């Protein structure tokens, strides 16, 4: 789901780590920047991309720990 919204930052290089929580119906509840790339524009673009993504439904009655994800966007 995240690959489709990954912003094109060529030729910029860096990593951005985000943590996000999904609701029981797969909607984004919250997203936080865990580790900045050091480039505010890259960080902002990644946060925007996560907010634009569509996610699958989590398993029924999944607790928040099973609906929380940490993802690192890697630009090389």
pLDDT profile of the chain (76 residues), mean per 10: 63 90 95 96 91 90 95 87
Rg (CA), the chain: 13
Q: Checking DSSP bridges between strand 68-75 and strand 14-22, what pairing results, if any?
A: antiparallel
pLDDT computed for residue 76 by the predictor:
79
Vertex 55 angle, CA 13 and 29, to 5°: 90
pLDDT computed for residue 11 by the predictor:
75
Residue showing tokens 């999904």: 22
SS3 call for 44: helix
For residues 14 and 38, the answer to whether their CB atoms sit within 8 Å is yes
SS3 call for 37: coil
pLDDT computed for residue 12 by the predictor:
76
pTM: 0.82
pLDDT computed for residue 4 by the predictor:
66
């Amino acid at each position: 789901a995240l690959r489709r919204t990954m912003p094109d930052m060529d030729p910029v290089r860096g990593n951005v780590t985000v943590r996000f929580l999904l609701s029981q119906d797969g909607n984004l509840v919250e997203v936080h920047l865990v580790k900045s790339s050091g480039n505010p524009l890259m960080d902002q673009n990644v946060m925007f991309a996560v907010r634009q993504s569509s996610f699958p439904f989590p398993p029924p009655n999944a607790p928040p720990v099973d609906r929380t994800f940490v993802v690192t966007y890697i630009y090389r």
